[in-house]
Amino acid sequence: MVDFHGWDMPINYGSQIEEHHAVRQGCGIFDVSHMTILDFEGSESELFVRKLIANDVRKLSENYSGLYSAMLNDKGYVIDDLIAYRMDKGFRLVVNCATRGEDLKWISARAKEYDVNMIEREDLSMVAIQGPQSPSVLKNFPAPIDFLKEKKRQQGIFQDDIFAAKTGYTGELGFEVILPNEKAIDLWNIAISEGAKPIGLAARDTLRLEAGMNLYGFEMDETISPFECNMGWTVCWQDDQRDFFGKESLIKQKESNDLKELVGIITDEKVILRQGQKIHLEEENHARGIVTSGTYSPSLKKPIALARLPKSESTSCFAEIRGKRVKAKIGSPKFIKEGKLIFKEKV
Amino acid sequence: MSSDNEVRYLSSHEWGRIDEDGILTVGISEHAQDLLGDIVFVELPDVGDMLEAEGESAIVESVKAASDVYSPLTGEVVEINEKLLDEPEIINNSPLEDGWFFKIKIDNDLQFADLLTEEEYNDTCED
């Protein structure tokens, strides 16, 4: 167990590699109640959330569906990443636990000018159920979570105080359930009795890294542009009348030539790529890149990493590991989706 | 390998087991493999390398962390456990038997007695 920003959380329940495979091949269950859940209600909740985050919740045509977004500061750097869901009375934002304090400060200072009420939902727990077998695990749960068959990714339901959406942090089929604290243990026990395996923080990290999903404080922080952490696609420019925090700075960033990019790297060497290792491009002697997150991929049985590099034509690079240079291939910043290899090597 | 011989430890979590011919078999402790979690790579010394007592001798890399392995005593490497290179999980499953790292011919077996007994080692782990 480890103290994770005030929450006691397990790093692993047994072997973290076995937990990883359980999610890729069967079903795993994660207690993610440390995540901060914020509800926004009031006549101007939509107006406010459209200003607050860089993606546009106007895209959410159905209730209980969600989208991934960055929340930017005035310099156009990432304060946090989050999922925003459309709810009956407004919006629900699920933000990171590590950034909770800064987020609340930033948001409440800006909410004052709007008719909007922010409610932190400490009465709710959050459980993620992920993996190809996840639909069958909850077949006996007393809510029609059978919805998975009909719903698309990012869509959800809300019934009997239980909110569930087809979202996750693993790249597998699965869903996240937000429910009253007193119901969470029942959900957990039913899922376990149906074969779900409990998953700790360590496997959560290898799963999200294989899926190419960012971790705040690693791929991005309040000094990193969304364009440099593979979040450019989450910035919505459709409605040019819409203003959002950081927009002006983002427009300037787009014109600049020295933006780096987040890539995936992979090597056959017997080493482990880890956060902070320096990266040299083929033709250069000085390191201009850095590993943002690295690990051993249990699915590929190889070291993989996300790395921020200067844009270049290079198809390979060198990671500096304990004084040695280790050659790695450069490719897409994602490796595995639904159990299959999706990493594309740069050619 | 005779498992009956006495095992002694370094506080940095390596164990050594000495046999009648003055050969010391070296590995990492149960506690160390538990701290490291799933081990995925190991770098071993070469046969013929001279190792120094408490000097770096191998590297063990788990998903969580990379860690140096120190030799309990001074001596020449006479055998390495090559099986670990392809199946490093053996270290997790059997740290004190099948998961041994290397064997050294030690210079001075009197020094063996200076290493920590199992009890003394266990006490250091509880601190």
Percent of chain A with pLDDT strictly greater than 70:
97
The number of beta carbons lying within 10 Å of the beta carbon of residue B108 is 11
Domain membership flag for residue B124: no
Beta bridge partners, A130, equal A28, A174
Of A12, A272, A322, the CB nearest to B37: A12
Q: What number of C-beta contacts closer than 8 Å exist between A and B?
A: 35
* CB within 8 Å: B63 and A11: no
Domain membership flag for residue B78: yes
Confidence class for position A147, pLDDT limits 50, 70, 90: low
Q: Which residue has the higher pLDDT, A234 or A142?
A: A234
CATH 2.40.30.110 domain range(s) in chain A: 258-347
Nearest to B7 by CA among B58, B66, B104, B72: B72
Tens digit of pLDDT for each residue in A186-215? 999 999 999 999 999 999 999 999 999 999
Report DSSP state, residue A73: -
Q: Compute the average pLDDT of residues A283-294.
A: 87
Q: What is the mean pLDDT of chain A?
A: 94
Contacts of A206 in chain B (CB under 8 A): 63
Total domains, chain B: 1
* CB within 8 Å: A15 and B61: no
Shortest CA gap B19–chain A (Å) = 32
- Residue B68 structural domain: 7-116
Taking 70 as the threshold, does the pLDDT of residue A86 lie above it?
A: yes
* CB within 8 Å: A15 and B92: yes
How far is residue B8 from each of residues B22, B28, B71, B117, measured CA to CA in Å?
14, 11, 12, 5
pTM, to two decimals = 0.91
The number of beta carbons lying within 10 Å of the beta carbon of residue A3 is 8
Taking 50 as the threshold, does the pLDDT of residue B57 lie above it?
A: yes
Taking 60 as the threshold, does the pLDDT of residue B1 lie above it?
A: no
Percent of chain A with pLDDT strictly greater than 90:
86
Residue A323, pLDDT score: 84
Domain membership flag for residue B52: yes
Contacts of A272 in chain B (CB under 8 A): 40-41, 61, 63, 66
Residue A283, pLDDT score: 65
Of B43, B63, B92, the CB nearest to A296: B63
Q: Are strands A324-331 and B66-70 parallel, antiparallel or unpaired?
A: unpaired
| Separation between Cα atoms, residue B63 and residue A203, nearest integer Å | 10
CATH 3.30.1360.120 domain range(s) in chain A: 2-210
Reported ipTM: the value is: 0.76
Q: What is the CA radius of gyration of chain A?
A: 20
Confidence class for position A136, pLDDT limits 50, 70, 90: confident
Taking 70 as the threshold, does the pLDDT of residue B106 lie above it?
A: yes
Domain membership flag for residue B11: yes
Question: On the CB side of A114, how many CA atoms lie within 13 Å of its CA?
Answer: 21
The number of beta carbons lying within 10 Å of the beta carbon of residue A40 is 25
Taking 80 as the threshold, does the pLDDT of residue A144 lie above it?
A: no
| Separation between Cα atoms, residue A79 and residue A295, nearest integer Å | 25
| Separation between Cα atoms, residue A27 and residue A19, nearest integer Å | 9
From 2.40.30.110, 3.40.50.1700, 2.40.50.140, 2.60.120.1440, which CATH number describes the A258-347 domain?
2.40.30.110
Q: What is the DSSP string of B19-80?
A: -TTSEEEEEE-HHHHHHH-SEEEEE-PPTT-EE-TTSEEEEEEESS-EEEEE-SS-EEEEEE
| Separation between Cα atoms, residue A253 and residue A231, nearest integer Å | 13
Beta bridge partners, A109, equal none
From 3.30.1360.120, 3.90.1150.10, 3.40.50.720, 1.10.150.50, which CATH number describes the A2-210 domain?
3.30.1360.120
Stretch 251-280 of chain A: residues touching chain B, C-beta under 8 Å: 270-272, 274
The answer to whether residues A31 and A89 touch, using CB atoms and an 8 Å cutoff, is no
Domain membership flag for residue B82: yes
Q: Is the Cβ of A295 closer than 8 Å to some Cβ of chain B?
A: yes
| Separation between Cα atoms, residue B47 and residue B76, nearest integer Å | 8
Confidence class for position A258, pLDDT limits 50, 70, 90: confident
* CB within 8 Å: B63 and A274: no
The number of beta carbons lying within 10 Å of the beta carbon of residue A152 is 9
Confidence class for position A143, pLDDT limits 50, 70, 90: low
Q: Compute the average pLDDT of residues B64-86.
A: 95
Shortest CA gap A269–chain B (Å) = 10
Tokens for A24, please give them: 């890729």
Domain harbouring B52, CATH code:
2.40.50.100
